[in-house]
Structure 1
Amino acid sequence: MKRLHCCVLVPTYNNAGTLQKVLDNILRLTSEIIVVNDGATDGTANILKNYKQIHQIRLPENKGKGNALKVGFKKALDLGYEYAITIDSDGQHFPEDIPVFLKTLEKSESKNILLIGARNMDQSDVPGKSSFGNKFSNFWFWFETGKRLKDTQCGFRLYPLKEIEKLSLRTPKFEFEIEVIVKASWNGTLVENVPVKISYDEDERVSHFRTVPDFARISVLNTWFVIVALFYIKPRNFFRKIRKKGFKKFLIEDVLHHNDSPKKKALSIALGVFIGVSPFWGFQTLLVLFLAVFLKLNKAIAFAFSNVSIPPFIPFIVYGSVQLGMLLTGEQLSFSMDNPKLDFEVLKHLKTYVIGSFALAAIAAALFGFIGYVTLMAKRKMAIDNG
């Protein structure tokens, strides 16, 4: 702790039942502790009288966890600390996990890193609303930053204080813990998870999270962050990448993903062809891009091959779909390439067309994907043989 200039920061509000146990367990590891009494009205003040060896801040009234953390960060910086590990005082965290944060910080190449404890949200004593709230938060953090995390709500964290000081942090309550990680990520701080244990002992744990108002505040914050991400952060990052790499390198690495494996590229080809041939007219571009992102495939390749349904090819695709549909359903339509309109005969037998269309899409996707995979593997082998 001393070598890394790190302290433990404990914000507390009306957790007199668990505070002493939390502090005693932390003291077994370090005395570098700051406690922020956030206007507690229970026996917190009396408990803290027995801990003269730790730094204490008493706020006259409760203004929220976010405000208490900001006050604690400022105090830590004033005392010369560079990092602060925050731990809740309700007993849900295990102080013996503190070394996990320190070891991860030491091993990290970048010291501009913010670590968040990743809880096992599948364990039996985790409340359903906590598990749902975490998944909800994880999704929006990914959407706003492009970074996937297992846990974005855990209060057991390591903060790089000098980097956090640069941020304009405005929220005072529980939503602060979302605001700080999103803004830190936008500002270039590496945000990562580390595994930690968790306890949800309902007999002793007191949570001050108010489901409706606090969830509403978090939702409003995420709505604002989505707007900022779409209209400022993502375009800013896009142009920064182009400027840093140069247009040609950016195109090869970030758009075409030149280094993707043959399997991934072949699956992207298959996805594009499947969507292009399927009867999703008008929605093919949106659908193929959504599925490429969801399935973690090559978006550029999938989009390119979805254009198999460009206007000159449409009559052939429709004709092939109808013929295959008739074969599969046993229905007979008076349809030929000489009279593709049929006086709307196809519309009268839409089921036949749809079944044939999906069947043709599956066959074409498998064929194009297989050819693409074989071709790409052969190309890779030639490249290896040529050194």
Structure 2
Amino acid sequence: MQVEAAHIHYCVLIPTYNNGTKIAPVLDAVSDYTSNVIVINDGATDDTAEILARFPQFEVITHPVNQGKGVALRHGFERAIELGYDYAITIDSDGQHDPDDIPLFLQAVAANPGAVVMGARNMEQEGVPGKSSFGNKFSNFWFWAETGISLPDTQTGFRAYPLAPISKKRWITSKFEFEIEVIVRLAWSNVPFESVPISVTYEEDRITHFRMFRDFARISVLNTFLVTLALLFFLPRLLIMRFSLQNSRKKLHDEFKKNKDNPGRMAFSVGLGLFFGIFPVWGFQMLVAFGIGSIFKLNRMVVLFFSNISVPPMIPLIIFLSFVCGAPFVDDPVSIEDFRVLTMDSIYDQLRQYVIGSILFSFLAGGLGTLISFLILTFAQRKPLED
């Protein structure tokens, strides 16, 4: 029996290469949910073509020679976009994934329109290869470093993609690393992410075309490139955009109200934001504060809000107080009188005083911010915050 989601115009993409012994049951199971299936035969040299001929209701794209999973997915996306689909669900052809989980993706898409939905495998279950578990943790870490988003499974091939943002991009990878590039760049475009738990089966005769050294090297090079871009441009822009798009004052009030029973955590969030808003890492305050706040599991919204103490109107005061704090620690300090005629050249000449002072000032502001916030929040526990 075929089950269709009337309100979601989607298709299923199945890239395959020499999985002739596994693909027929996958196609049979997928057909229970939809006939909107695009199979990309990526130059298979086994009996895949003959097996696919038994499913005339599905569209088949055939590559004369193997070009890689990334190219197969890209061509599948292009065809799905041409046919007017809004979403594409990708599933592997080796029998690892259970097509009966397709309704989970449709439910998640319905609840989160426009989001990428990632299938999350239980990597701790019995039978999961050790290299797969390690590789997933490795990939999850780098995705977090590149986007600030934490996902339980970034290597799964069972995903639901919104096609509108994909149609606007040109891709640079062609092999297994494409599945990393696509989610990182969608995250940089502010596309939200959701995860759903899925079943996974690892059989002893499972066919994999992942080559440990070659493909791992390609993935490592890609991650190096993406991390560099993230640090220099995309993460600062994304953090600022996310922060400015919200009603920050109301959001901040809601965060304190929601976490009023944990004054220590919230006070530390305030202090950390103030610390990095003043600490001399100009241009990267929000990014560094966000990362450290995530490591310590603090309230990242509060951290980001208070790291904005270094907004342009406050910069002259921060520089002045930094010079004041650093004056006792240099031989020829800039005095208050000198500050009246302070120029960029004189700031450069007294860079040591500024750096020392700004570090001290950041500790002072962070410590006072934490202490004052803790006292206020502790007092506020006695009566609820007003709406």
Structure 2: how far apart are the matches of 1:123 and 1:253? Answer: 40
1:35 matched residue in structure 2 = 39
Matching residue within 101, 126, 140 for 2:105: 101
Structure 1: how far apart are the matches of 2:237 and 2:371? Answer: 38
User: In the TM superposition, what are the counterparts of 1:16-55 in structure 2 within 5 Å?
Assistant: 16-55=20-59
2:64 matched residue in structure 1 = 60
User: In the TM superposition, what are the counterparts of 1:372-383 in structure 2 within 5 Å?
Assistant: 375-382=376-383
Deviation, 1:166, is 1.0
Q: In the alignment, residue 62 of structure 2 is paired with which amino acid?
A: R
Q: CA distance change for structure 1 residues 376 and 212 in 2, over 3 Å: closer, same or farther?
A: same
Q: In the alignment, residue 236 of structure 1 is paired with which amino acid?
A: R
- Judge conservation of contact 1:264–1:298 (CA < 8 Å) in 2: no
Deviation, 1:243, is 4.9
1:216 matched residue in structure 2 = 217
Deviation, 1:105, is 1.1
Q: CA offsets per residue over residues 2-30 of structure 1, 9 Å max, x none?
A: 62111111100000110111111112222
Q: CA distance change for structure 1 residues 371 and 241 in 2, over 3 Å: closer, same or farther?
A: closer
Deviation, 1:217, is 0.9
Deviation, 1:297, is 2.2
Q: In the alignment, residue 123 of structure 1 is paired with which amino acid?
A: Q
Q: In the alignment, residue 115 of structure 2 is paired with which amino acid?
A: I
- Judge conservation of contact 2:147–2:184 (CA < 8 Å) in 1: yes
Structure 2: how far apart are the matches of 1:28 and 1:99? Answer: 11
Structure 1: how far apart are the matches of 2:237 and 2:109? Answer: 29
User: In the TM superposition, what are the counterparts of 1:304-323 in structure 2 within 5 Å?
Assistant: none
- Judge conservation of contact 1:266–1:370 (CA < 8 Å) in 2: no
User: In the TM superposition, what are the counterparts of 1:1-387 in structure 2 within 5 Å?
Assistant: 1=4, 3=6, 4-108=8-112, 111-203=113-205, 205-241=206-242, 243-244=244-245, 249=249, 253=252, 258=256, 261-267=259-265, 292-297=293-298, 375-382=376-383, 384=385
What 5-or-longer segments of structure 2 have no aligned partner? 272-284, 310-324, 328-366
Question: TM-score normalized by structure 1?
Answer: 0.71
Deviation, 1:267, is 4.0
What 5-or-longer segments of structure 1 have no aligned partner? 274-284, 305-309, 313-364
Structure 2: how far apart are the matches of 1:166 and 1:114? Answer: 15
Structure 2: how far apart are the matches of 1:235 and 1:270? Answer: 22
- Judge conservation of contact 2:259–2:266 (CA < 8 Å) in 1: no
Structure 1: how far apart are the matches of 2:268 and 2:40? Answer: 57
Q: CA distance change for structure 1 residues 180 and 122 in 2, over 3 Å: closer, same or farther?
A: same
Q: CA distance change for structure 1 residues 68 and 288 in 2, over 3 Å: closer, same or farther?
A: closer
Q: In the alignment, residue 152 of structure 1 is paired with which amino acid?
A: T
Q: CA offsets per residue over residues 247-268 of structure 1, 9 Å max, x none?
A: x849x939xx755724544146
Q: CA distance change for structure 1 residues 270 and 311 in 2, over 3 Å: closer, same or farther?
A: farther
Structure 1: how far apart are the matches of 2:240 and 2:267? Answer: 28
Q: In the alignment, residue 264 of structure 2 is paired with which amino acid?
A: A
- Judge conservation of contact 1:267–1:369 (CA < 8 Å) in 2: no
Structure 2: how far apart are the matches of 1:239 and 1:162? Answer: 24
Question: TM-score normalized by structure 2?
Answer: 0.71
Structure 1: how far apart are the matches of 2:267 and 2:249? Answer: 22
Identity, % of aligned positions: 45
Of structures 1 and 2, the larger Rg is shown by: 1
Q: CA distance change for structure 1 residues 96 and 239 in 2, over 3 Å: closer, same or farther?
A: closer
Q: CA distance change for structure 1 residues 382 and 225 in 2, over 3 Å: closer, same or farther?
A: same
Q: CA distance change for structure 1 residues 231 and 27 in 2, over 3 Å: closer, same or farther?
A: same
Deviation, 1:383, is 5.1
Deviation, 1:197, is 0.2
User: What is the DSSP-based 3-state SS (H/G/I as helix, E as strand, rest coil) of the residue aligned with 1:37?
Assistant: strand
User: What is the DSSP-based 3-state SS (H/G/I as helix, E as strand, rest coil) of the residue aligned with 1:103?
Assistant: helix
Q: CA distance change for structure 1 residues 79 and 191 in 2, over 3 Å: closer, same or farther?
A: same
Q: CA distance change for structure 1 residues 159 and 290 in 2, over 3 Å: closer, same or farther?
A: closer
Structure 1: how far apart are the matches of 2:42 and 2:217? Answer: 22
Deviation, 1:51, is 1.3
User: What is the DSSP-based 3-state SS (H/G/I as helix, E as strand, rest coil) of the residue aligned with 1:173?
Assistant: coil
Q: CA offsets per residue over residues 141-169 of structure 1, 9 Å max, x none?
A: 11111111101110011111122111221
Structure 1: how far apart are the matches of 2:138 and 2:381? Answer: 41
